[in-house]
Amino acid sequence: MKKQARYLVPGDYMADPSVHVFEGKLYIYPSHDRESGIPENDNGDHFDMKDYHVFSMDDADGEVTDHGVALRAQDVPWAGRQLWDCDVAFRDGKYYMYFPLKDRNDIFRIGVAVGDRPEGPFIPRESPMKGSYSIDPAVLDDGDGNHYMYFGGLWGGQLQRYRDNKALECAAFPADHEPAIPSRVVRLSADMLEFAEEPRPVVILDENGHPLTAGDNERRFFEASWMHTYGGKYYFSYSTGDTHKICYATGDNPYGPFTWQGVILTPVVGWTTHHSIIEYKGKWYLFHHDSAPSGGRTWLRSLKVVELEYNPDGTIKTIEG
Ligand code: FUB
């Protein structure tokens, strides 16, 4: 593959790709953007998505197959509105799709839908996962029988409304010198349908071993968690939101703490940036999105892939957005 990013689904708007290798192929699980006509605001009301398509590829350079609609908001028994970034995990012959969706009280919860095939269809459960909140679930299969979900997002993602896994009476942002609001990590139950424990904060430390602060906008977590492993280390990557970068931090285990390392992707066209990192056929890839094809309309994003490279010391070479 050339070092130039390529667009994957030119005929439609897709964003927030979560990518896994299932049955020897690359499977892509994106958000399905659409023109809703809802004005842009800090709550993200303009991201009013109603379904998910699943895509697959035999090769990162190759043709992209659209497997069609895998889940619709209208089929989720507890649905309010807005299907945002999803992910899919495999265990014991079944595929589990995890999706954030607002309930009828306009609160984001994380739901599960179950399928027999990586492309779905996925059948949603009656209720959201107990104790779930906020957005952007990303699941790591740790290879030892455990699956860990990373989740959370600020502003429209509602993470500022929770502390210690309890809803606050009103949203609270820390002062600039205080520790930043962290993403969350939780081990999933053996049946993959619930949390096996209380979610824990994903703490990101600076070079001096101090948690990144809320005022450190160039480095602190905002949304779009992803986890992969490389060289025996855990790489937690995420978007910084209003500074529009994909950054990463590394640690020794799935819970962290993680130490900030650098920028993976500089800002792209559009407000949001969101990605996944995957190894396939001996190479590494960054799947992401931008709003260039829609002329910068930030709610109409297009899927991209580009090769990702490591330095000999395990750091990731920065990709220009
Ligand atoms: O697609 C809606 C939201 O935009 C996602 O959940 C965020 O990560 C951002 O990409």
Q: Is residue 318 part of a domain?
A: no
User: Looking at ligand 1, which atom is closest to the CA of residue 274?
Assistant: 10
Q: Is residue 40 part of a domain?
A: yes
Quote the domain boundaries for residue 200. 6-308
Q: Is residue 317 part of a domain?
A: no
Ligand 1 binding pocket includes 84 (Cβ within 6 Å): yes
In tens, the pLDDT along 7-20 reads: 999 999 999 999 99
CATH of the domain at 91: 2.115.10.20
Q: How far is the CA of 312 from the centre of ligand 1 (A)?
A: 32
Taking the C-alpha atoms of residue 149 and residue 200, their distance in angstroms, rounded to an integer, is 10
Q: Is residue 321 part of a domain?
A: no
Taking the C-alpha atoms of residue 233 and residue 253, their distance in angstroms, rounded to an integer, is 7
Q: Most distant CA pair in the chain: distance in Å? A: 51
Taking the C-alpha atoms of residue 63 and residue 266, their distance in angstroms, rounded to an integer, is 27
SS3 breakdown of the chain: % helix, strand, coil, rounded to 5?
5, 45, 55
Query: DSSP code of 194?
Result: S
Number of structural domains (the chain) is: 1
Q: Give the residue, by CA position, lying nearest to ligand 1 atom 9.
A: 272
Q: Is residue 320 part of a domain?
A: no
Residue 130 pLDDT level (bands cut at 50, 70, 90): very high
User: Looking at ligand 1, which atom is closest to the CA of residue 224?
Assistant: 8
Q: What φ, ψ does residue 148 adopt, rounded to 5°?
A: -120, 130
Q: Is residue 316 part of a domain?
A: no
Q: Is residue 17 part of a domain?
A: yes
User: Looking at ligand 1, which atom is closest to the CA of residue 15?
Assistant: 1
Residue 313 pLDDT level (bands cut at 50, 70, 90): very high
Tell me the Ramachandran region of residue 43: left when phi exceeds 0, alpha when psi lies from -120 to 50, beta otherwise.
alpha
Q: What is the mean pLDDT of residues 88-102?
A: 98
Ligand 1 binding pocket includes 223 (Cβ within 6 Å): yes
| pLDDT value for 4 | 86
- Say yes or no to pLDDT of 2 above 70: no
Q: Is residue 315 part of a domain?
A: no
Taking the C-alpha atoms of residue 49 and residue 51, their distance in angstroms, rounded to an integer, is 6
- The fraction of the chain above a pLDDT of 70, given in percent, is 99
Active site residues: 16, 223
- The fraction of the chain above a pLDDT of 90, given in percent, is 99
**Probe ligand 1: pick from 13, 29, 31, max atoms within 8 Å of CB?**
31
- Say yes or no to pLDDT of 269 above 90: yes
Q: Count Cα neighbours of 242 within 13 Å in the Cβ-side half-sphere.
A: 8
Q: How far is the CA of 200 from the centre of ligand 1 (A)?
A: 22
Q: What is the mean pLDDT of residues 210-226?
A: 98
| pLDDT value for 256 | 98
- Say yes or no to pLDDT of 1 above 70: no
